[in-house]
Amino acid sequence: MSILSSTLSSNYSPQPRSTQEHHRDLYISVDSNAASHSRAHRRQFLLFQMASTMLSLASASASASSLSMHDTLKGKVKIGSNSLSTGFVKTKSFGRVSMSVAANVSRFEGITMAPPDPILGVSEAFRADTNDMKLNLGVGAYRTEELQPYVLDVVKKAENLMLQRGENKEYLPIEGLAAFNKATAELLFGADNPLLKEQRVATVQGLSGTGSLRLAAALIERYFPGAKVLISSPTWGNHKNIFNDARVPWSEYRYYDPKTVGLDFEGMIADIKDAPEGSFILLHGCAHNPTGIDPTPDQWEKIADVIQEKNHIPFFDVAYQGFASGSLDTDAASVRLFAARGMELFVAQSYSKNLGLYAERIGAMNVVCSSADAAVRVKSQLKRLARPMYSNPPIHGAKIVANVVGDPTLFKEWKAEMEMMAGRIKNVRQKLFDSLSAKDKSGKDWSFILKQIGMFSFTGLNKAQSENMTNKWHVYLTKDGRISLAGLSLAKCEYLADAIIDSFHNVS
């Protein structure tokens, strides 16, 4: 008998009969006739029991932890609501979960189909399209003029360095790579920022921007129970998911004014003022996604005034540092302005876009505290939250960032490449505007496209018009009318202009 079988055998003791346990009881009755059944039969029974228990536990834990409270409260999730359809029941005897297995009835019958992701789902639909003219302007990912993915030269050089050094694959500490954490905080706040010398920033490496935001959301949920996060209307689609899943209440502040196709500054200030004192105010550090509209430096000062007045905590999402203006420092100005006022704040960072490290999942969560002592405690709690979620972060992207930022030559080359990428997007933006203006005879003013910055353009196309773009023109974009200019080439601008003009004027 194998070790597995003997362990199972010694643990096995028959359960009291239960009407719901037909199938297992059948096995028990066979099994109880010990003298007549063979060792093979017994092994079959034990394996069956082990599989049943494992499946039941998987079902039970799915209902307990993987689903958001949001879904459960909305009644979308029916797991375990009907023991006949889901096929598992809890036995009283040992508190163990047992099940009856009916033929062709899945234990996952109660799990409904999830909708496709509004952004990443667009790429899935794009891949399935076989039309030659197809264009993916959904996800914010940089492409070359030939519409190919781009790996930065500095990234390749940093990776070569890593290969030459023969670096190992040991676990990182929970807070991530020390050299990365130092580099990322310096890049954000400026290397000579007194905050860093005073050790008032708790920085932990995160699973890119999304994972860093999620970690911060978990901290809010644990240490600021009931505190609200205010998010801009509109915002990056995943913000709402992140706070929903972390069980953090959120509401929206006005941001975009469709009439002016600009910032609703008065509305924004009024809503931040109205929020309960001590709320978290989520701000896009630069290149607001999806609108491409950022406050002016003067407006940032006023936003900081009202946040300070109301004792709110600013929470920056910095996913595009360097991509808005082409300069890392200019794009960090908003965060530095708040930090210089001595405010405590949160900043999530991402290297997906500015270093093209989308799949490496490299970013950071920074919490600026009023004392070094508070920073040590906050960091300890961020680590405590990270450990049961993902244990410790991946090393590869962290080493790339540390090598690029830590080496003056590579750092300089990175800045040049970033300017090149930001420059290509600006050229495409200009060409799209020119094409629209030349082709559209209606007199519509398309100049808002030139005023927006960053990877995206918020076209103002509604859902039906966006659907026409995809169904008729094979141009893939998010349903809110956002297009990623980083996925557009100069050569495709005319075609895109035709698609936009047709959708705008011929679809209501």
> What residue type is assigned to position 157 of the chain?
K
Helices (H), 178-207: 178-189, 194-197
Q: At closest approach, how far in Å is the CB of 385 from ligand KET?
A: 17
Instruction: Kindly state the smallest distance separating residue 208's Cβ from ligand KET, in Å.
Output: 3
User: Which two three-digit tokens encode residue 156?
Assistant: 């390749």
Q: What per-residue string of b and e applies to 48-71 under the rule 16 or more CB within 10 Å gives b? A: ebeebeebbeebeebbeeeeeeee
Q: Which residue is it, tokens 């998911």? A: 241
Catalytic annotation, pick one of 353, 379, 479, 492:
353
* Pick 458 or 504: Cβ nearer ligand KET: 458
| Minimum distance from residue 247 beta carbon to ligand KET (Å) | 20
The minimum distance between CB 217 and ligand KET, in angstroms, equals: 12
Which CB atom, from 42 or from 284, has the smaller least distance to ligand KET? 284
- Quick one: 110 or 460, whose CB is closer to ligand KET? 460
Nearest-CA neighbor of 210 among 179, 236, 249?
Answer: 236
Residue 194: which residues within 8 A CB-CB, separation 6 or more? Answer: none
Q: List residues binding ligand KET (CB under 6 A).
A: 119, 139-140, 208-210, 236, 238, 284, 289, 317, 319, 350, 352, 358, 363
Out of 228, 236, 271, 331, pick the active-site residue: 236
Task: Identify whether 115 is preceded by a cis peptide bond (ω within 30 of 0).
Answer: no
- Residue 78 is among the residues annotated as catalytic for this protein: no
Tokens of 493: 């601008």
Nearer to ligand KET (CB atom), residue 193 or residue 291: 291
Q: Choose among 120, 93, 97, 95: nearest CA to 107.
A: 97
Distance CA 351, CA 45 (A): 52
Single-letter code of the amino acid located at 181: N
Alpha carbons 477 and 462: distance in angstroms, whole number: 11
From the list 371, 361, 405, 360, the residue with the least C-alpha distance to 184 is: 405
80 vs 397 by CB, closer to ligand KET: 397
Q: How many CA atoms lie within 13 A of 48 on its CB side?
A: 16
Residues with Cβ within 8 Å of 218's Cβ and at least 6 positions away in sequence, in order, are: 246, 385, 389
Residue type, 267: G
Angle between helices 297-309 and 333-340 (to 10 degrees): 40
Q: What residues have CB less than 8 Å from 233, skipping those under 6 apart?
A: 252, 253, 254, 255, 256
Report which residue type is found at 362. I
Q: Which of 245, 271, 317, 331 is catalytic?
A: 317
**Min CB(293)–ligand KET separation in Å:** 13
State which residue, 139 or 303, has the beta carbon closest to ligand KET: 139
Q: How many whole angstroms separate alpha carbon 426 and alpha carbon 486? A: 9
Question: Shortest Cβ distance from residue 299 to ligand KET (Å)?
Answer: 19
**38, 42, 40: which is closest to 12 by C-alpha?**
42
Nearer to ligand KET, 304 or 362 (CB): 362
Largest CA distance in the chain: 93
Catalytic-residue membership of 498 = no
CB of 366 to ligand KET, least distance (A): 14
**Closest distance between ligand KET and the C-beta of residue 27, in Å?**
48
And the tokens for 324?
């808005």
Contact between 275 and 230 (Cβ < 8 Å) = yes
Q: Which is nearer to ligand KET, 352 or 468 (CB)?
A: 352
129 is catalytic: no
Residues with a known catalytic role: 236, 317, 353
